[in-house]
A and B are shown apart, each in its own frame.
Chain A
């Protein structure tokens, strides 16, 4: 069992005193159910408490604004999966980069919206909650961006520094604000934040903007014009690696060293001795770390320090050397603080190109699997993850996606998204889906239809059957026989159809008429689903024929029902009783053969009933025997008439 790196947080449960009672719990897919047991802490037992508490780890899923995050990222995820495998990897890289940018823009959009709501809300608790969500999203985007730069875009030496510069610039936006403030004031050069702005621009490598702002100062001090001109020159001449040009890395390196020597010379010559600010700037250009550290508040984070340091000391740094500088920068910057924050260690792991450590740290720090799931999936598509099998779940990507999707499934509404995620987990996705989809609560038929459609598209016939059975049972409970029948037809569930037909027949026996005639009359080919159902349909047809006075057809049908053994034994008595009026007609309806068959059926029936049932009251017995006698009489008479009729020769 691994050690836990971080102290687990404790969540107090309202109304519960841990000194008095023990707490029992049970794990759910995304949360824990906690209840008070009757056991007291010191032995013995006391009265119970009726409450069951649900402790949820991830409340982000239920935030209405963050829902958009889940939905849009789902869309991007599905799009990513559909990128064809057969394209050469050279073409895929820009696609992956654009997908990564899509994800990030989604994060940013959510962040902005959260920010707006946080500012405008009245409720203080809600405002803090939103505020913390915003800061988490900020951190997430920062990490994602870095991963994109280092792993997905995989910039080589030279452009690496440029990309990292972009990264830092994106996440330190207050420089522009300050600059605007300064420039908008009446006399910019006298503004107290003036030099901060200039130095910040230089620290971020934005030389042109720095020069523009410097011009204002230069205008104020005509005496020192030469000095300003010199600095301006230096700033302008700073070489920037341009990956598009034909300049190779070594050429750039040579140029850069020349430039640096020139700056150094200026420093040695004390050209900027009279103006400490300009001297500072010059020292920064040379890459003097002490001066950089003096401006800690402007840098504000160790990774900014790292990037600036690289820009001015090692612009041709290779990706593999990055971690050394990262480590040292962090130590230099954060000298007094003892424990690095989780974000810092995650970024450090990223600089060390240790993807697994990044993912692991993120999983611990964040409270849901959204970020790690999507990031891992993207990295896996870029073929950056070595696939080693975990002993639970197949590989890291699949494990994380499964966890994420399971968490989604518990949400009453986002479960539909999770289906797509399961689809794209080749090994265990289907099993998970099968288990989860049966447990979606079904309130309305429409929802059930959607769930069934999802199952049918994936050929999960077992699940279809069980869901249809649930709906049919519900319908049956509410006496909606037609609904129940249509559900069992959808599931092709013969057993249930039989059950329903039994209900119909029982109703008929009890009431003497059929309910729901519209259903039975119009069964169509669905009748063939189960024998009992076929019987029901045919029996109804018999009644119809009788009603239309087509006695011959009715008689034939009735007989076929019994001889073809479609009718259940228990119903034969009723059928024979129905035959009575036909037998009693003046016209002979049943032919001799048919009458013989009827008699045969009657005999079969009565031979079974030869054993008297002691439980049955005497009245029933009497009725039965009367019926049988009547039938025998009618059959005999009919037989006689039939023989006579058939034997008569027309003269």
Chain B
């Protein structure tokens, strides 16, 4: 039940994502992609764990992730998403948005499409900070406050919302097929509707009180009005976008910035978050969702943890397991990745039974 696999790779990893498995097959996801940052030459790499086709019930057969292929990347990888089985979209710190294609036969990566300077300032390059895709459409947001809508196979930009925000937009997610939600560095959530023509958000939600920059957002997979956000002070907030301005609940989660938050795609009672202070938390609700009351700490009997985290700085690609804590209210069980929580966890992704 616990499988921790740690492997040192020689790069600082900023994002990691599992390749989506088709819903018909019951395979565990076995291939994931990582993007690096802060190196002289950044790259995106594809790794695989274990071997396909061997179903092993015991977890002795935990291989180290093996590098399958990699490709140079201009600028830090700030966000990474799988468009479909073969293509990966990345957001770069030079403001470019790149689509890579993974060729299974030759196990190589190649650049399939490139939008240079998609995000830019008049004189500089602006980093593109977030991507979300709903194939074949891609929405990107950047530090220049622009929201851009692309289509995967077309050259040009489909639509740009200029000056969508006066501050940096950190993350974006789809609410419905035509609506997106963005979070920015003055602590606001904005909902944009693409069917409308103007450049105004259709709704703005924010916390009263201190405006804390929000870094990540994720939508509940089944209920589209429930959204979780994580902020700079490590607080996790759950919002209901139908109801007004206040978040539904606020929880203190981490002691430093929370970089990523994800609902489990098929098991939405579980939520995962990772942060700069080096911890990775697993949240679980007990009751059903209209009024989620989150128990802190979880018992994970159903989640086999072969997880892939990517902390920063230490160039570690870690896979960690969960402590099975008592599901008692008010106690937070954190997973300790190795004895010291010295370096931050930059990214996490969860799919099926693997984290």
Contact = CB atoms under 8 A, between A and B. Distances in A.
Interface of A: 62, 64-65, 67-68, 71-72, 74-75, 78-79, 82, 412-413, 416-417, 420, 443-447, 449-450, 453, 457, 474, 477-483, 485-486, 489, 515-516, 518-519, 522-526
Given A75-B314, A483-B168, A522 B257 contact: no
A417 B165 contact: no
Given A413-B38, A443-B127, A483-B143, A68 B10 contact: yes
Contacts of A62: 40
Nearest to B339: A79
Contacts of A486: 167-168, 185-186, 211, 213
Interface of B: 8, 10-12, 14, 37-40, 75-76, 78, 93, 121-124, 126-127, 129, 143-145, 165-168, 184-186, 188, 190, 201, 204, 206, 208-211, 213, 232, 256-257, 276, 312-316, 338-340, 342-344
B315 A478 contact: no
A71 B257 contact: no
A483 B167 contact: yes
A489 B211 contact: yes
A413 B14 CA distance: 12
A416 B343 contact: yes
A78 B257 contact: no
Contacts of A525: 209-210
A417 B314 contact: yes
A218 B143 CA distance: 82
B260 to A, nearest CB: 12
B276 A450 contact: yes
B211 A480 contact: no
Nearest to A416: B313
A450 B314 contact: no
Contact of A412 (B10, B39, B315, B344): B39
Given A417-B314, A482-B165, A483-B167, A67 B340 contact: no
B76 A524 contact: no
B123 A485 contact: no
A453 B204 CA distance: 28
Given A412-B38, A413-B12, A480 B342 contact: no
Contacts of B76: 443-444, 446-447
Contact of B340 (A82, A480, A519): A82
Given A71-B8, A75-B338, A522 B312 contact: no
Contacts, number: 139
Contacts of B256: 453, 457
A482 B184 CA distance: 10
Given A445-B127, A515-B166, A522 B122 contact: no
A422 to B, nearest CB: 13
Name the residue among B209, B211, B339 with the largest chain A CB count within 10 angstroms. B211
Contacts of A74: 314
A651 to B, nearest CB: 48
Given A478-B124, A483-B185, A524 B168 contact: no
Given A79-B340, A485-B186, A413 B121 contact: no
Given A447-B76, A480-B167, A485-B167, 5 more contacts: A75-B342, A445-B168, A449-B257, A483-B166, A525-B210
Nearest to B276: A453
A210 to B, nearest CB: 38
A111 to B, nearest CB: 15
Given A65-B10, A71-B316, A413-B12, A522 B144 contact: no
Given A480-B145, A482-B145, A518-B204, A71 B314 contact: yes
Contacts of B313: 416-417
Name the residue among A64, A65, A67, A413 with the largest chain B CB count within 10 angstroms. A413
Contacts of B129: 444-446
A522 B314 contact: no
7 contacts: A65-B10, A444-B78, A450-B344, A482-B165, A486-B213, A518-B190, A522-B206
A67 B38 contact: no
B167 A519 contact: yes
B340 A522 contact: no
Nearest to B124: A478
Nearest to B36: A413
Nearest to B167: A482
A67 B10 contact: yes
